[in-house]
Amino acid sequence: MFKVLVSDPISDLGIQQLVDASDIAVDKKPGLSEDELVAIIGEYDALLVRSQTQVTARIMEAGKQLKVVGRAGVGVDNIDLAAATERGIIVINAPDGNTITTCEHTFAMMMALARHIPQAYAKTVGGVWDRKTFLGVELRNKKLGVLGMGRIGSEVAVRAKAFGMEILAYDPFLTEERAAKLGVKLSTVEDIVRNADFMTVHTPLTPETRHMIARPQFEVMKHGMRIVNCARGGIIDEQALVEAIDQGIVAGAAFDVFEVEPPAPDHPFLKHPRIIVTPHLGASTVEAQENVAIDVSEQVLHILRNEPFKNAVNMPAIPGDVLNRLQPYFTLGEKLGSFIAQLTEGAVQEISISYSGELADVDTQPLNRYIVKGILSHHLGSDQVNVVNAMHLAKSRDVNIVTQKSTAHKGFTNLVTVSLRTKQEERLVAGTLLNGYGARIVQIDKYPVDVAPEGNLILVSHNDKPGIIGRVGTLLGSNDVNIATMQVGRKLVGGAAIMVLTVDKGVPKQVLSEVAKLPDLNNAKEIMLV
Ligand SMILES: NC(=O)c1ccc[n+]([C@@H]2O[C@H](COP(=O)([O-])OP(=O)(O)OC[C@H]3O[C@@H](n4cnc5c(N)ncnc54)[C@H](O)[C@@H]3O)[C@@H](O)[C@H]2O)c1
Ligand SMILES: O=C(O)CC[C@@H](O)C(=O)O
């Protein structure tokens, strides 16, 4: 039974699938302090949050069983991603579910700004009938600058066109083709600042976007600009904005987000007559909250059940077509890694991975993670290593990872070769997927073999002499070890050779050392592939 903790108010309908799952127990405990979370997180496999819970390194450290943190929303700025990655905790978000809602809030803010609705409302309910102060402007025929043309920015642009606005758009990933398709003018930040009448930002907050609109931009800004921020506090320099409004450069601003949330009671935005604010309500609709909770719950279920999942924030996303081609190789890759780690003596210095055949055309980085996970799990423990932290752990231990690709088929449609270099030696294993037969190890060091990578294997290095196979078989048999399959690989008759035996159960250590002492035997190793 997996235990899931929901520590923020998250839509009940959205998490219903978790509540209904027979292998999941859900506890809802919103509003816990960091100390309270640290005290209880150790018993949970998954943590579901919105934006209130700060998922700190301390919480991750205490979450000994924690496999996944799910964020019901887009931004993961309340989650310590580095700490999660280091501990192999997968962080997922729900990037699509609140796009339209936030886009609509941006419009609500833009129109409220253009027509002074909050100020007019406050005066009217205060008993003052003032029809002179609140002269607004139309959106029609105005230029709207959109900074950040991702999910929300693009939806804003589409709707702004329906209002008769001309869209100037900037995003480092916006191409001429896509801009033309969306009917927007590809612009620079400077074009927008100098020419737009309204500006709205839809980027994440990164070192690059922090204060991307600040004093230097206000100095050259078109006078009368109206600015909306429903993305993240800090993209626009708050202090510089207030100055620009007071200097008559900016006509007004509408902010849903703040550099520090909630803002201090004396924050200059809160009393400024030309600034309207909402308390980070961009995603707050019934629909969006259900959508994000459904999405994140679904992925948490997949992760806990060890099924393929999407929207991991601390792992690169795998495009669907790449995933389809690579997924069958994930188990093989992990087993090759585990095999070579068990075979090789000494501390790992370098892992070389080579792909030949059709896999050479695919981005094989996700598969590298499975191979490295297989290798490191042997040394660090399978509960400590997963595909999220495998590369990080290798790097932090100065393990060099070298990959190469070749379209040459080497006798197989696809061949994955993994070699491991330690101070003592360098060993190699290669595997493939054979149509109709599944995964196969087809080479160990220089010897061709044909072995299913599963169960208990014994690998024997010996000299190719008559009678050896019989002696090994007799010794194992007399110790009640049943041999299921046997393979011999050699390059030259009478030369060095290997024997790979599949046995039905684990072999006691002392039996293995007796095998190794047989005449003409150099070494015997047990390898377990679970
Ligand atoms: N107010 C809210 O409640 C609320 C709700 C949802 C999302 N958000 C925030 O809105 C923002 C956008 O969300 P989204 O889902 O559209 O994200 P997204 O990832 O789909 O889009 C972000 C875009 O910003 C672009 N970008 C990055 N750096 C840039 C730069 N220097 N200049 C211009 N563009 C840049 C990226 O290329 C990307 O296309 C995020 O900050 C998100 O956290 C806020
Ligand atoms: O209301 C929330 O949960 C925050 C929404 C938003 O900022 C997000 O990043 O998804």
Ligand 2 neighbourhood includes 233 CB (under 6 angstroms)? no
pLDDT value, residue 319:
82
Ligand 1 neighbourhood includes 204 CB (under 6 angstroms)? yes
pLDDT value, residue 324:
87
Long-range contacts (CB closer than 8 Å, 24 or more residues apart) made by 517-521: 518/468, 518/471, 518/472, 518/475, 519/471, 520/462, 520/463, 520/465, 520/468, 521/460, 521/461, 521/462, 521/468, 521/472
- Correct CATH for 99-277 of 3.40.50.720, 3.40.50.1820, 3.30.420.340, 3.90.640.10: 3.40.50.720
pLDDT value, residue 520:
92
pLDDT value, residue 94:
95
Distance (Å) of CA 154 to CA 142, 150, 168, 405: 17, 6, 11, 38
Whether residue 43 lies in the annotated active site:
no
Ligand 2 neighbourhood includes 98 CB (under 6 angstroms)? yes
| CA 150 – ligand 1 centroid, Å | 6
CB atoms near residue 274 (< 10 Å): 17
Ligand 2 neighbourhood includes 87 CB (under 6 angstroms)? no
Q: Compute, in degrees rounded to 10, the torsion defined by CA atoms 143, 147, 152, 158.
A: 30
The residue whose CA is least distant from atom 7 of ligand 2 is: 75
pLDDT value, residue 45:
98
Taking the domain 320-524, which CATH number applies? Answer: 3.30.1330.90
CB 366 within 8 Å of CB 316: yes
Per-domain residue ranges of the chain: 2-97+287-304, 99-277, 320-524
pLDDT value, residue 207:
82
Distance, CA of 229 to CA of 258 (rounded, Å) = 9
pLDDT value, residue 378:
87
Angle at which helices 509-516 and 468-478 cross, to 10°: 160
pLDDT value, residue 36:
98
| CA 203 – ligand 1 centroid, Å | 3
Kindly state which CATH superfamily the domain 2-97+287-304 is placed in: NAD(P)-binding Rossmann-like Domain (3.40.50.720)
Distance, CA of 519 to CA of 508 (rounded, Å) = 20
- List, for residues 89-130, the tens digit of each pLDDT value: 999 999 899 999 999 999 999 999 999 999 999 999 999 999
| CA 491 – ligand 2 centroid, Å | 62
| CA 231 – ligand 1 centroid, Å | 6
Q: Looking at 105, 116, 202, 280, which residue is catalytic?
A: 280
The residue whose CA is least distant from atom 9 of ligand 2 is: 75
Amino acid (1-letter code) at residue 379: H
Successive 10-residue mean pLDDT values, the chain, 530 residues: 97 95 97 97 98 96 96 93 90 94 98 98 98 97 97 97 98 87 96 98 90 97 98 97 98 98 98 98 97 97 89 83 90 97 90 94 94 91 82 88 89 94 94 92 95 95 91 93 91 90 90 91 92
> Nearest-CA neighbor of 198 among 254, 259, 121, 159?
254
Can you tell me which atom of ligand 2 is nearest the CA of 50?
A: 3
- List, for residues 476-530, the tens digit of each pLDDT value: 999 999 999 999 988 888 899 999 999 998 898 889 989 999 999 999 999 999 8
H helices of 344-411, where?
365-380, 390-396
Distance, CA of 57 to CA of 55 (rounded, Å) = 7
The residue whose CA is least distant from atom 41 of ligand 1 is: 204
357 phi and psi angles, rounded to 5 deg: 90, -150
Ligand 1 neighbourhood includes 171 CB (under 6 angstroms)? yes
* Host H or E run for residue 186: strand 185-186
Helix (H, G, I), strand (E, B) or coil at 178: helix
Counting every residue written for the chain, the total comes to 530
162 phi and psi angles, rounded to 5 deg: -65, -20
**Same CATH topology for 2-97+287-304 and 99-277?**
yes
pLDDT value, residue 492:
85
Amino acid (1-letter code) at residue 66: L
Ligand 1 neighbourhood includes 209 CB (under 6 angstroms)? yes
Ligand 1 neighbourhood includes 208 CB (under 6 angstroms)? yes
pLDDT value, residue 7:
98
Q: Looking at 36, 43, 138, 261, which residue is catalytic?
A: 261
Q: How many CA atoms lie within 13 A of 157 on its CB side?
A: 27
Q: Looking at 71, 116, 202, 232, which residue is catalytic?
A: 232
Ligand 2 neighbourhood includes 283 CB (under 6 angstroms)? yes
> Nearest-CA neighbor of 107 among 278, 268, 250?
278
- List, for residues 465-490, the tens digit of each pLDDT value: 899 999 999 999 999 999 999 999 88
Whether residue 267 lies in the annotated active site:
no
Ordered strands of the 438-444 beta sheet: 400-406, 348-357, 414-422, 426-434, 438-444, 447-451
Tokens of 220: 């050259």
Instruction: Please tell me the number of the ligand nearest to residue 100's CA.
Output: 1
pLDDT value, residue 392:
86
Angle at which helices 365-380 and 320-343 cross, to 10°: 30
